[in-house]
Chains A and B, each alone.
Chain A
Amino acid sequence: MKSLIVKRIIAVGIALSAWELLPRLGIIDPLFIPPLSQVVVTINGLLESGELPTHTLISLQRAFSGLTAAVLVGIPLGLLLGGWFPRLQQGVEPLMELFAQANPVILAHIIIFFLGIGEGAKIFIIGWLCIWPITFSTIAGIRDVEAQLVKAARSFGLGRGSLFFRIVLPAAAPAIFTGLRLSAGYAFIMLIASEMMGASSGLGWLVVQSQESYHVQRIFAGAVVITALAVITDLLLKLLERRTVIWTNTGELDICDTHEPKRVNLYQEEAP
C-alpha cells in the first residue's frame, strides 16, 4: 500500500514538473501553455481580489443544484421503472436512451426560450445530463439484485413493500452510487458549458472572458480550480460510498489511500 502511494506521488510529480519545465525550457510556447508557477500566482491573485471565491461559490451552487435535482428525480424514477413497472421500463428504454443522448447544449436556445437566461436554464442543462446515469444505474442495480437474496427474503413472508425497501434498495445501493459519481462528473462538465452561454458570473464565465481577452494564465487558473472541485467532489462521494456501502470494496480512495481493504481472510474454519 505504501509503495502505491509513492508510485502515485511520483506520477503526479512528473506531470506537474513537466508542466513547469517544458514551457520554461522553451519546448512549449509559454504563450499557449504557461508554466505551473505562473498559474499558481494567477490563482493567488484571483483569490486575493475576491473574484475567485465569488465565482467558485456561484458555480458550486449551480453544479450542486443540478446534481441534487437529478438525484431527486433520477433515483425515484429508476426505482419506479426498475422495481414497479419493469414492462413499462422495457418499453420506454429506447426513448430514454434517446433523451440521454440529446445534448442540452445544442437545445440551449429552446431551453432558454422556455426558462429564460437565468439560473433555471443552467440548472436544467446540468440536471438533464445528470439524471440519466443515475436513472439507468438505479434500474440496472434493481434488475441485477441477486435472485437468491430476494428468494431468501420472500421466505420470511415479506410483503412487496418491505421486500423493496429492506432488500432491493440496499442491494442496489452500490450501483446507484456508481451512477451518482458518474453524474457528479457530468455536472462539472455541463456547468462550464452552461456558463459559457449567456452568463455573467461563475468559473465558466471567467474562462470564456479570459479567452476573449486572451489572458492565458487566467484560462488555466479557471481550469485548475474547476478540475480540483470535480476531483474533490468525487473523493467526497467515494468517502460517502465507503461509509454506506461497506460490503463492497469499490469505494477505494484514489489519491492518498492508506486504507487496507478490509477483506480479512478468516479461514480458521473450525476455530470457535
Chain B
Amino acid sequence: MGTVADNYKDAASADAKIVVRDINWVFHLKRTRTEPARDFIALEDINLEVKKGEFLVLVGPSGCGKSTLLDILAGLAHPTSGAVYIDGKQVSGPALDRGIVLQGYALFPWRTVRQNVEFGLEIKKVPKGERKAISDRFIKLVGLDGFADRFPHELSGGMKQRVAIARALAYDPDILLMDEPFAAVDAQTRENLQDELLRIWEETKKTIVFVTHSIEEAAFLGDRVAVLTANPGTLREIVKIDLPRPRTNSDIRSSAEFGWVRHKIWELLQNHQPEVRGAIDSRPVADAISPSAEL
C-alpha cells in the first residue's frame, strides 16, 4: 500500500485532478467448448494523468478496455491492481464528486425530465426549493426549457442524452465521465451535441473524461487524446490536440490541422486486434443489490 502512495507522490504533477497509476484489469474467461479457461487482460499497466479543467478523450477500438477504464474512474469497477486518485485521494467507490453519462442514456423512465435532473440533488439532500432552482438552470443549460415535465419516453434520443448530461451536472461534480455518450444518435444531432458539450464545458469548467470510438469526435473535442489499443488494452500514446478554441461554430472540421490530427490518431489505432467484451454491463441486476455484491 505504502509503495502505491509513494508512486503517486513521486509521479503526480501538481495540477493533476485525476491520477491513474499502474491499472491492470484481468478477468477470468470460463471454459467454452472450444477453448480452455484463461485469464483475459483487458487493461495492462495504464498510467494517466488528467489536469483540472482538462478535456481528455479516450479513444480505441471496441474491446480495448476504455469503458472499463471509465468504470474504474467512476468507482463502479475495481481494478485487479493499481489505483485511481482524485485530488490525491484514492478512489474506493462511486461518489458525487463524479458525474457519469452513459451511451444508453439510462434515464429513470418513471421520472420526468426535472425529476431525473434532480435525482443527484435528492441524494445530496438539497432542500426542495433549491432543487427546483438548480434543475431549472441545468435544464436551460442543455437547451430543454419547456420540457421539464415530460417523461423520457416522450423525448428523442438527442434530447434524452441532454437530460442525462443535465442530470450528471446538476449536483455539481468536479468531474464528468462520459462513456460513448453520442454513439446512439444520428450524425446531425451528434455534431450539435458535441458543440453543446464544448459550450457547457467552457461554461462550467468541469474536468471531462470522454470515451469514444470515433476518431473525428476525439479530435474535435479533446485537449488531449489517449489512444488505447486492444488485446491487451494498453495506452499506446497520448496525442496533444493544439487546435484553437473555441472550436464551435467554426470550420475547424475541414481545416488541414484537423485532418492531420485525425490521421495521426488513425495511424496509432492501426494495429489493433478483435476484442472480448468487459464484464460490467452484463452483470445481472441481482448481483448488484444482493448482500454478496461488491459495491
Residue of A nearest to B95 (CB): A157
Q: Does A164 contact B (CB under 8 A)?
A: yes
Q: Is B281 an interface residue (CB 8 A)?
A: yes
At the interface, yes or no: A82 with Cβ under 8 Å from chain B? Answer: yes
Interface string of B103-127 (1 = CB under 8 A from A): 0101011100000000110010000
Residues 269-294 of chain B, each 1 if its beta carbon lies under 8 Å from chain A, else 0: 00000000000111111111111010
Interface string of A145-160 (1 = CB under 8 A from B): 1111111111111111
Q: Is A264 an interface residue (CB 8 A)?
A: yes
Cβ–Cβ contact B153 & A247, under 8 A = yes
Say whether, besides A83-B289, A247-B153, A154 and B106 are in contact (CB < 8 Å): no
Q: Are B94 and A86 in contact (CB under 8 A)?
A: no
Q: Once the chains bind, are B289 and A173 in contact (CB under 8 Å)?
A: no
B79 interface residue per 8 A CB criterion: no
Which of B154, B159, B293 contacts A269 (CB under 8 A)? B159
B285 near A145: Cβ-Cβ < 8 Å: yes
CB closest chain-A residue, reference B71:
A151
Let me know if B218 is at the binding interface, CB within 8 A.
no
Known contacts A157-B93, A157-B123, A269-B192: A86-B290 contact under CB 8 Å:
yes
Q: Are B96 and A84 in contact (CB under 8 A)?
A: no
B255 at the A interface (CB under 8 A): no
> Roughly how many angstroms separate A151 CA and B107 CA in the complex, as a whole number?
11
**Listed stretches B49-57, B142-150, B206-214, B231-239; interface member:** B142-150
Per the CB 8 Å criterion, the residue count for chain A at the interface is: 47
Query: In the complex, are the beta carbons of B155 and A266 less than 8 A apart?
Result: yes
B207: shortest Cβ distance to chain A, in Å? 16
Known: A154-B76, A155-B74. A149 touches B108 (CB 8 A): yes
Interface pair A168/B119, CB less than 8 Å apart: no
Chain B proximity mask over A118-143: 1 for CB below 8 Å, otherwise 0: 00000000000000000000000011
> Is A160 within 8 A of B110, CB to CB?
no
Q: Is the CB of A151 within 8 A of B284?
A: no
By a CB distance below 8 angstroms, the chain A residues around B99 are 155
**Contact in complex: A147, B108 (CB < 8 Å):** no
* A260 lies within 8 A of chain B by Cβ: no
Taking a contact as CB atoms under 8 Å apart, the answer to whether A272 and B144 are in contact is yes
B281-A151 in contact (CB<8A): yes
* Cα separation A154 to B284 with both chains bound (whole Å): 14
Docked complex Cα distance between A87 and B156 (Å)? 38
Assembled-state Cα–Cα distance A269/B147 (Å): 12
Query: B21-39: contact bitstring with A at CB < 8 Å (1 yes, 0 no)?
Result: 0000000000000000000
Query: CB within 8 Å of A: which of B86-102?
Result: 93-96, 98-100, 102
* Interface bracket on B: 35 or more
Q: Which of A142, A148, A164 contacts B106 (CB under 8 A)?
A: A148
Q: Does B295 contact A (CB under 8 A)?
A: yes
Within 8 A of B (CB), among A61-116: 82-87, 89
Once the chains bind, are B159 and A156 in contact (CB under 8 Å)?
no
Closest to A246 in B: B151
Q: Contact: A148 with B102, CB < 8 Å?
A: yes
Task: Choose among B75, B143, B145, B289 the residue that contacts A84 (Cβ–Cβ < 8 A).
Answer: B289
Question: With a CB–CB cut-off of 8 A, which chain B residues contact A89?
Answer: 286
Task: Note all chain A residues with C-beta closer than 8 A to B76.
Answer: 151, 154-155
Binding site for A on B (CB under 8 A): 74-76, 93-96, 98-100, 102, 104, 106, 108-110, 119-120, 123, 143-147, 150-156, 158-159, 171, 188-189, 192, 280-291, 293, 295
Please list the residues of chain A having a beta carbon within 8 angstroms of any beta carbon in chain B: 82-87, 89, 142-160, 162-164, 167-168, 170-171, 173, 245-248, 262-267, 269-270, 272
20 intermolecular pairs with C-beta atoms under 8 Å apart: A83-B289, A86-B286, A142-B286, A144-B285, A148-B104, A151-B106, A151-B280, A154-B76, A155-B76, A156-B171, A157-B93, A157-B95, A163-B288, A247-B153, A265-B156, A266-B154, A266-B156, A266-B159, A269-B192, A270-B192
Given contacts A142-B285, A142-B286, A155-B75, 14 further A-B contacts (CB under 8 A): A82-B286, A143-B286, A148-B102, A156-B119, A157-B96, A160-B291, A163-B288, A168-B285, A170-B110, A171-B108, A246-B110, A246-B151, A266-B154, A267-B156
